[in-house]
Structure 1
Amino acid sequence: MSGNTHSKEDRRTAYILVGIQAVLIIGLIMFPAGTNWRATSAVSTAASALTIIAAVIGVWAAAYLGRGLTPLPLPNGSTELVTAGPYRIVRHPIYTAVFIWAIGSTLGSGNALKIGVLVLLIALFLYKSRWEERQLAASFDGYAAYMERSGRFLPFVG
């Protein structure tokens, strides 16, 4: 890694992105169950399964990051590029885990407002991941090659 000197503007952008992400995730958690649809037992089971899958992927990805896990989308100057475990398959497995959880949360809620929050969260992660990848490409010599062999959120996609 070629150092972690991040500009004040980059740090500010990182905090803003994380702040927006936190608001959206809290929104998904705090919106009450709705009456827009009734979650059948099959939908509730699927929503629960998605939550469990998301937790497994998220913990797996966090474990592989180790000391490199930070709340900000800025490379940590004391770590190396992680391309093993879930990072061998996708570049942003923690974001993938959050997507899966958010879909499960929305499906099981019966609240149409959560669909809007889910769409905003996906849009944010699309923007945030591109921004983060510019930071990673500037910090890690092999990042461009890594991008070519791994998907952004899903295997073989993006």
Structure 2
Amino acid sequence: MKLTLQAVSSFVLGLAFFGLVLFLPAGTFDYWQAWVFVAVFSVSTFVPSTYLAIRHPDALSRRMKAGPTAETRPAQRIIITAIFLLGIAVMVVSALDWRFGWSTVPVWLVIAGEVLVAAGLVGAQLVVIQNNYAGASITVEEGQPLVSTGLYGIVRHPMYTGSLIMMLGTPLALGSLWGLPVVLAAVPVLAARILDEEKALTTELAGYPEYTQRVRYRLIPGVW
């Protein structure tokens, strides 16, 4: 029951958050791209979270321990703060772009952006189903197994791949092109998180060095 209440509270706070970072900068509620984005985001997170709450409550609990205070590594506290602020900037800049008409995004590209947002979010949630220890903060628990199949057989950090896909789709879904450079600015920060996380996994998770030899790419197959 406590976990369910936390999940519902998180959902409600998320809606309030979107109201502040999307509709306030847009200066109006008459912003259909934002409404569709919020709906897609909500469904793409609420449905998998409900599944986790029923089938894997421990995994959902790990996912809800997020933010700088949940990190044990000092570098990660800085990195996750930067990622959070850049995520806000992506949405604020996109909403301002839509408000002042700095760029024009056709409807088909808005829809493509929504598809990317949904695919990225669902993919990230699928990672948690495949690896129940995939939390929102970087920790290695006692007895934690090494998962190397499924999405982990394609890249070493599939959750971040899903997050990147979602971030790339966000400006387009919100009817903006100027939000894309902000997303690109977040990529090096995400890379820094991955590299620091791998330092911890190499020393704390049994079999991880051998796994990196089998799965060569961290984030994007054939690229990095």
Q: When the two structures are superposed, what TM-score results if normalisation uses the length of structure 1?
A: 0.82
Task: Show the counterpart of 1:24.
Answer: 86
Aligned match for 2:108, one of 42, 48, 60: 42
Task: Show the counterpart of 1:15.
Answer: 77
Distance in 1 (alpha carbons) for counterparts of 2:92 and 2:206: 41
Letter in 2 for 1:63: I
Work out whether residues 18 and 72 of structure 1, in 8 Å CA contact, stay in contact via their aligned partners in 2.
Answer: no
Structure 1 11/77 Cα, relative in aligned 2: closer, same or farther at 3 Å?
A: farther
Structure 1 76/29 Cα, relative in aligned 2: closer, same or farther at 3 Å?
A: farther
- Give the match's secondary structure for 1:45: helix
Deviation sequence 1:6-58 (CA, Å, 0-9, x none) = xxxx6222222222221122222333151232111221121111112112211
Work out whether residues 146 and 206 of structure 2, in 8 Å CA contact, stay in contact via their aligned partners in 1.
Answer: no
Does 2:208 align with 1:146? no
Q: Which runs of 5+ in 1 are unaligned?
A: 1-9
Aligned match for 2:141, one of 61, 67, 76: 76
- Write out the 4+ residue segments of structure 1 that deviate beyond 3 Å after TM superposition: none
Distance in 1 (alpha carbons) for counterparts of 2:140 and 2:76: 11
Deviation sequence 1:68-124 (CA, Å, 0-9, x none) = 232222323341222122111111111111111111112333251x22321221111
What number of residue pairs does the alignment pair up? 148
> Which protein shows a greater Rg?
2
RMSD: 2.1
- Give the match's secondary structure for 2:136: coil
With 73-82 and 101-110 compared, the bigger mean Cα shift is at: 73-82
Task: Show the counterpart of 1:62.
Answer: 128
Letter in 2 for 1:57: G
Work out whether residues 15 and 72 of structure 1, in 8 Å CA contact, stay in contact via their aligned partners in 2.
Answer: no
Instruction: State the Cα distance separating 1:63 from its structure 2 match.
Output: 1.6
Percent same amino acid at aligned positions? 22
Distance in 1 (alpha carbons) for counterparts of 2:201 and 2:142: 11
More helix by share: 2
Work out whether residues 14 and 74 of structure 1, in 8 Å CA contact, stay in contact via their aligned partners in 2.
Answer: no
Q: Which runs of 5+ in 2 are unaligned?
A: 1-71
Distance in 1 (alpha carbons) for counterparts of 2:193 and 2:130: 21
| Counterparts of residues 59-138 of structure 1 (less than 5 Å) | 59-66=125-132, 68-108=133-173, 109-112=175-178, 114-138=179-203
Instruction: State the Cα distance separating 1:142 from its structure 2 match.
Output: 1.7
Q: Using CA pairs below 8 Å that are at least 6 residues apart, which structure has the higher relative contact order?
A: 1
